């Protein structure tokens, strides 16, 4: 029998926007089965819902009527007990309901659950023959001859004469045996032994290490199994960070512990999955949202059943249900994709260190362009810094040539964005039959369409941005809400049909390249070309199999991909993100440019990069040219300190939006007054309130948007302030027709 007090009560979290947990009574038949981490079916108000068992409780801890659970959905926990403190910490830190946090961590759209069945054994059949008394256990055994039944089925058939204690007594005597079946809406199959590009995975052995790799691995291994620690592994592109990860993983699972490896994008999983499965075989599980529901559930259960020791995935892999965690590895730790932009709003990179600490494990954050915050933690000795300064096989970093676009301002047509320098470099690369990568972080054909009569831009009717022309689809599209209108649209100000198509995006670059290099095989990778399931994989396979000479794309192609035949990278316009109204604009520009540059020259030939910019003297551009993140950090950190922005402070953003502009403004004003009032009473010197102000993009999808930024130098003080503001003023936050969101440590400031 589980460790449970005699009252038989449990603490349950429900997946609703409520911040409390609730106590339920456990019927006697479930007393021997229920455990923390299990799912239960419970009444909640007028509804019935799935709840998550967080532990055992006493009735006196709850005021009001205590209801009983209706059913137990799992014969064993769906997540391990030791993850519960982690869920509670994350829920508290991000001010998010714990039930909804747990639901978001579990496999999405999972309608599958395990049911435990009892079947009669030969010993049970012999007992029936010899037992003369028509006892309750004999009745139960005779019913099992006809059909295997669950506890629920037996209880329905025999009522109180089939208590759980009797069933388990019969099991201990060997008269019945238990087994589990997965129930749900659809079936699923095991993953075949091929990678996502369709190629067979062949087992390999560890590669010879460079001196730098061996030194880094030795440093990490000396801390492995000696308690919690976070490392920042700063390694230039192509320096062999993945081989370091695999060596650490091997050492960790050798000691009976498990490993989580996260990458920022699903598109990056295929190559790292392939390498890990080649090394570790079927002990690797993969968790990400692109898997079918049944397949993802299978991978989850593979971990839970201890059939897998390594979990690889994007952000949500952080919640892999390992009991004995030894290491969490966060590759491309600088990437903003680790921040959930949905309801939960967690940052998987930050939570990796939290989960590692709670598990007494290590966390390794790896990147060629570490975030300012992470390197600051190295400087302040919160993290230990490790460095790979050279590429493997003595490969050198690519030459980066800056093209000053200010000198090209009078050029017209294709020459405005495909300069003579870039055109010549592409031609030379085609001659030697190598691949070229062209990067522009803007999709579409023309990003700005203006009326020739009144000079008004074509704007989205639902958002405060201009429409982008997508010539292939013959539409103008909004990249925020998806609104579109015909390419034959007229000006919505004066009605003129004379529209000038200005600016450019990846679609226009593709058209230009096809006209300049008609014999080259060109592909484009952006959100428009990867909408259909499997389309991205097919495009990546083309690159790998050298069926593409020129690859044009957005930031989707800038991260982590390793294609040895790409020897030239052309950055069409390096300045797009540089002037965003965000204190991280310089950091994100540097990281993106350095990452794109790092895609070139990863094979035997030295790479070359053409970087076109209107700001050739900006320190983010110059640092990216030299792929020197420390040089960038030393300049950017001075700016951060002067304005008291992270990492010298922490931020909480309150976002207010609604279709009624006046109501949204009034709600923002009311919350702003509460902030200022509370600051004066509780945190006059440690909390700063910025706003309320209109968001930089004032309207999205017909919702008018305002925001308030709360800045604090102490994380604990800031969180206490936010909790008091939110929980003591629910009426101000819950206004009909208005959505308010609290975003802790915000990344997206627009």
Express each pLDDT in 464-493 by its tens digit: 888 888 877 888 888 777 888 888 888 888
Cis peptide before 647 (omega within 30 of 0): yes
Fold of 9-108: GIY-YIG endonuclease (3.40.1440)
Domain 650-744: which CATH class? alpha beta
Q: Give the whole-angstrom CA distance, residue 332 versus residue 336.
A: 9
The predicted pLDDT at position 135 comes to: 81
| Sequential DSSP letters for 195-256 | -TTSPBP----PPPPPHHHHHHHHHHHHHTTSS-EEEEEEE-TTS-HHHHHHHHHHHHHHTT
Which residue has better confidence, 475 or 514? 514
Find out whether 250 and 327 touch, Cβ atoms under 8 Å. no
pLDDT band, residue 723 (cuts 50/70/90): very high
Instruction: With CA atoms as reference, report the closest residue to 75 among 190, 188, 185, 168.
Output: 168
- Report whether pLDDT(59) > 80: no
The predicted pLDDT at position 71 comes to: 85
Which residue has better confidence, 157 or 346? 346
Domains of the chain, residue spans: 9-108, 114-183, 211-393, 395-445+504-640, 650-744
* pLDDT more than 90, % of the chain: 51
Residues linked to residue 502 through DSSP beta bridges, in sequence order: 448
Contacts by 745-748, CB closer than 8 A, 24 or more apart: 745/339, 745/347, 745/350, 745/646, 745/650, 745/651, 745/652, 746/651, 746/652, 746/653, 747/336, 747/339, 747/341, 747/347, 747/584, 748/336, 748/339, 748/341
pLDDT average, residue stretch 43-62: 85
- Report whether pLDDT(39) > 80: yes
Note the pLDDT tens digit of each residue in 730-749. Answer: 999 999 999 999 999 999 88
Exposed, middle or buried by CB within 10 Å (0-12, 13-18, 19+), for 2?
A: exposed
Note the pLDDT tens digit of each residue in 187-227. Answer: 464 444 555 555 677 778 888 999 999 999 999 999 988 99
The predicted pLDDT at position 735 comes to: 94
Find out whether 534 and 577 touch, Cβ atoms under 8 Å. no
The predicted pLDDT at position 488 comes to: 84
Q: How far apart are the first and last CA of the chain?
A: 54
The predicted pLDDT at position 187 comes to: 42
Contacts of 413 (CB under 8 A, 6+ apart): none
pLDDT band, residue 4 (cuts 50/70/90): very low
Return the number of other C-beta atoms located less than 10 Å from residue 222's C-beta: 9
pLDDT band, residue 61 (cuts 50/70/90): low
Which residue has better confidence, 351 or 480? 351
Residues linked to residue 40 through DSSP beta bridges, in sequence order: 51, 72
Residues in the chain: 750
pLDDT band, residue 497 (cuts 50/70/90): confident
pTM: 0.85
Instruction: With CA atoms as reference, report the closest residue to 250 among 274, 281, 228.
Output: 281
| 211-393 and 650-744 agree in CATH topology | no
Which segments of 307-433 does DSSP mark as H helices, in order? 348-358, 372-379, 420-431
Find out whether 593 and 601 touch, Cβ atoms under 8 Å. no
3-state SS class at 50: strand
Q: Is the dihedral of CA 23, 28, 34, 36 positive or negative?
A: positive
DSSP letter assigned to residue 607 = P
Per the prediction, the chain carries an average pLDDT of: 87
CA distance to 13, 16, 58, 203, per residue, from 26 (Å): 15, 21, 11, 49
Note the CATH architecture for domain 395-445+504-640: 3-Layer(aba) Sandwich (3.40)
Domain 211-393: which CATH class? alpha beta
Place of tokens 């997946």: 15
The predicted pLDDT at position 195 comes to: 55
Which residue has better confidence, 535 or 78? 78
Which residue has better confidence, 651 or 477? 651
Find out whether 263 and 328 touch, Cβ atoms under 8 Å. no
The predicted pLDDT at position 189 comes to: 46
DSSP letter assigned to residue 413 = G
Which segments of 627-749 does DSSP mark as H helices, in order? 629-643, 661-682, 715-727, 730-733
Q: Give the whole-angstrom CA distance, residue 497 versus residue 484.
A: 17
Q: Give the whole-angstrom CA distance, residue 158 versus residue 155.
A: 5
The predicted pLDDT at position 2 comes to: 43
Return the number of other C-beta atoms located less than 10 Å from residue 43's C-beta: 14
């Amino acid at each position: 029998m589980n460790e449970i007090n005699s009252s038989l009560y449990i603490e349950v979290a429900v997946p609703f926007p409520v911040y409390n947990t609730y106590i339920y009574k456990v019927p006697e038949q479930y007393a021997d089965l229920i455990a923390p981490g299990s799912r239960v079916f419970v009444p909640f108000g007028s509804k019935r819902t799935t709840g998550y068992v967080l532990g055992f409780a006493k009735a006196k801890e709850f005021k009001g009527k205590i209801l009983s659970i209706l059913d137990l959905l799992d014969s064993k926990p769906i997540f391990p007990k030791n993850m519960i403190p982690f869920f509670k910490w994350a829920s508290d830190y991000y001010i998010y309901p714990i039930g909804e946090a747990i639901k978001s961590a579990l496999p999405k759209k999972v309608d599958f659950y395990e049911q435990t069945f009892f079947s009669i054994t030969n010993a049970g059949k012999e007992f029936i023959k010899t037992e003369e008394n028509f006892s309750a256990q004999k009745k139960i055994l005779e019913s099992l001859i006809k059909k295997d039944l669950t506890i629920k089925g037996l209880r329905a058939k025999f009522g109180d004469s089939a208590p759980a204690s009797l069933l388990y007594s019969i099991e201990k005597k060997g008269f019945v045996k238990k087994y589990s079946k997965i129930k749900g809406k659809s079936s699923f199959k095991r993953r075949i032994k091929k990678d996502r590009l369709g190629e067979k995975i062949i087992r390999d052995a560890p590669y010879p290490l460079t001196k730098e790799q061996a030194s880094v691995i030795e440093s990490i291994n000396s801390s492995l199994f000696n308690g919690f620690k976070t490392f920042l592994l700063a390694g230039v592109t192509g320096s062999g960070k993945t081989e370091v990860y695999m060596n650490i993983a091997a050492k960790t699972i050798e000691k009976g512990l498990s490993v989580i490896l996260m990458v920022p994008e699903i598109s990056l999983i295929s190559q790292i999955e392939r390498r890990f499965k080649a090394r570790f075989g079927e002990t690797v599980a993969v968790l990400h949202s692109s898997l079918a529901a049944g397949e993802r559930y299978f991978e989850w259960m593979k971990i839970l059943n201890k059939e897998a020791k390594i979990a690889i995935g994007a952000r949500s892999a952080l919640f892999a249900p390992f009991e004995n965690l030894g290491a969490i590895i966060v590759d491309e730790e600088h990437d903003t994709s680790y921040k959930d932009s949905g309801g939960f709003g967690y940052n998987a990179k930050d939570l990796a260190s939290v989960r590692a600490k709670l598990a007494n494990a290590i966390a390794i954050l790896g990147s060629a362009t570490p975030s300012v915050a992470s390197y600051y933690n190295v400087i302040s000795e919160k993290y230990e810094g490790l460095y790979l300064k050279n590429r493997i096989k003595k490969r050198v970093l690519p030459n980066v040539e800056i093209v000053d676009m200010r000198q090209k301002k009078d050029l017209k047509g294709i020459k405005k964005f495909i300069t003579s320098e870039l055109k010549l470099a592409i031609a030379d690369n085609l001659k030697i039959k190598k691949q070229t990568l062209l990067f522009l972080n803007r999709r579409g054909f023309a990003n700005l369409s203006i009326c020739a009569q009144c000079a008004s831009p074509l704007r989205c009717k639902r958002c405060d941005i201009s429409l982008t022309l997508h010539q292939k689809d013959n539409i103008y599209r909004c990249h925020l809400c998806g609104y579109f209108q015909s390419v034959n649209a007229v000006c919505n100000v004066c009605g003129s049909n004379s529209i000038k198509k200005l600016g450019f995006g990846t679609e226009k670059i593709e058209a230009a390249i096809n006209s300049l290099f008609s014999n080259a095989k060109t592909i484009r990778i952006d959100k428009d070309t990867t909408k259909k399931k499997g389309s991205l994989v097919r495009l990546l396979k083309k690159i790998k199999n050298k069926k593409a000479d020129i690859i044009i794309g957005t930031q989707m192609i800038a991260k982590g991909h390793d294609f040895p035949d790409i020897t030239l990278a052309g950055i069409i316009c390096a300045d797009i993100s540089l002037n965003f109204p965000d204190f991280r604009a310089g950091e994100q520009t540097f990281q993106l440019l350095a990452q794109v540059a790092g895609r070139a020259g990863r094979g035997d030939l030295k790479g070359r990069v053409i970087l076109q910019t209107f700001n050739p003297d900006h320190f983010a551009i110059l640092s990216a040219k030299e792929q020197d993140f420390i040089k960038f950090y030393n300049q950017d950190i001075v700016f951060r300190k002067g304005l008291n922005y992270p990492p010298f402070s922490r931020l909480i953003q309150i976002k207010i939006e609604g279709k009624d502009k006046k109501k949204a403004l009034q709600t923002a004003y009311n919350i702003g007054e509460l902030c200022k009032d509370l600051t004066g009473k509780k945190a006059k010197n440690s909390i700063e309130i910025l706003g309320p102000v209109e968001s930089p993009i004032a309207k999205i999808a017909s919702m008018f948007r305002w925001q308030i930024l709360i800045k604090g130098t102490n994380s604990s003080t800031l969180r206490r302030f936010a909790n008091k503001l939110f929980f003591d003023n629910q009426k101000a936050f819950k206004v009909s027709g208005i959505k308010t969101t609290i975003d802790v440590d915000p990344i997206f400031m627009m």
